Structure 1
Amino acid sequence: MKAKLGMSPIAWWNDDLPELSDDVSLEECLRQSRSAGFTGMEKGRRFPDDPDIMLPILKAADVTLCGGWFSGTLVNEDLATNQQRIAPMIELFKAVDAPCIVYGEVGRSIQGDRSKPLATKPKLSDDEMKAYARKLTQFGEWCADQGMPLSYHHHMAAVVETEPELDAFMRFSGPGIPLLLDAGHLAFAGGDVLRAIDNHHTRISHVHVKDIRRAVVDGLDRTKQSFLDAVALGAFTVPGDGSLDFAAIVKKLADYGYEGWFVVEAEQDPKANPPLRMAQVGHQELMRVMTLAGYTVETQGFPNR
């Protein structure tokens, strides 16, 4: 079985908490990640939106674009509005041969609002969840028809956060909207990562190997502290530096035949946790658990054209 290892630039530049950002260029971010062994990088705010500019940068770094976040609003806006906003991203991602666009729901979410405690996250009724999941399925099918599949990112402080919410979303939605499994977000929300893989492995198309620091997560006062407070306190980290058993998680995915990207997404203070060192720690741990699980990790970055 084959796997590819990528990173998210959120370790270098945090869009929601600019104070948790390293003053490095896109080229330096790619250089550091590639030197640690990663062959892919998800899109961040310092990436150009013109493929004619992006492709030479990726080629020079020997890195491929392995995904990127789209801020969706289907929980409170219509299909046409979201189709119009995502259309340029679809064309860009097709031009650079990205595997998917990561759909993150920001409608009604409190993930970017530091004044809103975790306990005040939005909740959908059964009927609302059913309607939302069906709309996402339509949207996912439309994006795939345009030539770029989505992968749905369950997320802390959003409408699909907990394991029961994920189960409901998956039950009411269809295969037209594949799943991004994020180990860190699910564990933070109190879910069982291995059980979620058992339940939803047929729809998993992309994986974020985000780790958590259990002591930080368990020490939060969710009636007073926000998602961004948790990030600033160091709730997240890379595999090998946190509390999750990635040997078991990766083995479970391997048992179901998952092949594709494993992306380290670990937002934290780059001054306390230098991104290059964190990338090296994460890559070393992932190579260890990938080998145990029987994966062959691809080492080619930018594709030969």
Structure 2
Amino acid sequence: MSVRLGINPLTWTNDDLPSLGGDTPLETCLTEGRQAGFSGFELGQKFPRTPDALNQVLSDHDLSLVSGWYSSQLLERSVEEEIEAVESHLQLLKQCGSKVMVFCEVSHCVHGDQMRPVSQRPHLQDVDWPRLTEGLDRVGAYLKEHGVQMVYHHHLGTVIESQADVERLMDNTSDAVGLLLDFGHLVVAGGDPLALAQRYASRIHHIHCKDVRFDVLKETRNRDKSFLDGVLDGLFAVTGDGDIDFLPALTHLKNEGYEGWLVVEAEQDPSVAHSLTQARLGHKGLKQVAERAGFQVTD
């Protein structure tokens, strides 16, 4: 099985906390990402949002488009409104060659609020679950008709955070709803990446290899901190620079036929964690663990 290694621009500039790398130009992100060895990027706010312009800037750096985040509000608007809202993003991904859309329900989320701890994240009541799962099925089917697979991103501070949340979501949706396995978000939420990999291998179409520093995690939990304060404290790390053991889940997914992207995604303060140094470290760590899991890494 072959995989490609991509990176998220969070290593250079943070969309949720613009003070981190706010002055870093896109040109720097792309140049250094390619120098570090990555063959693709996920989107961030500094990227062009028209297919021609995005294709050109990526081509100039010999890079591919991995995917791009989409903020869903299915708990607050109709499926028809959601499909209308997602259309331009869908066309951008499709026309720029991406096969997956990172999809996350952000209604009532707290991860972007530095004053609210992750413990105050929203929880779905039983009556709300059908609205979300049925809506995801319908939007996922629409995306699939256009050749793009929805990959749901379980995310700290949102309605789908814990392993139990992910399992309930997967068990009540169709294959139109794929899963993005994010190691870091799952581990911080107390989940087990191997258990999800074993249960939903056929539904996992995208992987974020976000690493976590367990000593910072302990402090974040003990002091009931916000997601963004955790970022500032150094909670997240590039692959191999934290304490997560990626090998068991990645080996299982390789044996189950996973092909696609493995992505380094690490929210860090670039004034503390030098971006190019971190990108190179993340590429080295991710390539090593991918090859140990049995994957063939291609450019």
Give your verdict on TM over 0.5: yes
- Opposite residue 202 of structure 2, the aligned amino acid is T
Secondary structure of the equivalent of 1:143?
A: helix
* Distance (whole Å) between structure 1 residues aligned to residue 142 and residue 157 of structure 2: 27
Q: Is the 8 A contact 2:99 2:147 kept in 1?
A: no
Q: Is 1:145 matched with 2:138?
A: no
Deviation at 1:127, TM superposition (A): 3.3
Partner of 2:201: 201
Map 1:18-57 to 2 at 5 A.
18-21=18-21, 23-57=23-57
Pairwise mapping of residues 156-235 of structure 1 onto structure 2 (< 5 A)? 156-221=156-221, 224-235=224-235
Contact 2:43 2:65 in 1 (8 A): yes
Asked if the contact 2:154/2:160 (under 8 Å) is kept, the reply is yes
Q: With structure 2 as the length reference, what TM-score do the two structures score?
A: 0.96
Q: Which runs of 4+ in 1 moved over 3 A?
A: 221-224
Paired amino acid for 2:226: S
Cα separation, 2, equivalents of 1:222 and 1:87: 42
- How far apart are residue 248 of structure 1 and its match? 2.4
Match in the other structure for 2:70: 70
Residue type of the partner of 2:58?
Answer: L
**Equivalent residue, structure 2, for 1:298:** 298
Q: Give 2:125's aligned residue.
A: 125
Question: Contact 2:264 / 2:286 at 8 angstroms: preserved in 1?
Answer: no
- Report SS of the residue matched to 1:168: helix
Offset, 1:33: 0.7
RMSD after superposition: 1.4
Percent pairwise identity = 37
Alpha-carbon distance between aligned partners in 2 of 1:191 and 1:182, rounded to the nearest angstrom: 11
Q: Residue in 1 aligned with 2:246?
A: 246
SS at structure 1 position matched to 2:177: coil
Q: How far is the alpha carbon of 1:75 from its aligned partner?
A: 2.2
Unaligned runs of 5+ in 1: 300-305
Q: CA deviation at 1:175?
A: 0.7
What stretches of structure 2 of length at least 5 have no aligned partner?
Answer: none
Contact 1:3 1:296 in 2 (8 A): yes
1:12-35 CA distance string (max 9 Å, x none)? 111111122253221221111111
Shift of 1:238: 0.7
Contact 2:161/2:186, CA 8 A, preserved across alignment? yes
Residue type of the alignment partner of 2:193: V
What is the DSSP-based 3-state SS (H/G/I as helix, E as strand, rest coil) of the residue aligned with 1:207?
strand
Aligned to 1:87: 87
Q: Secondary structure at the match of 1:151?
A: strand
Q: Indicate the larger mover: 146-155 or 2-11.
A: 146-155
Aligned length: 299
Structure 1 partner of 2:59: 59
Deviation at 1:221, TM superposition (A): 4.1
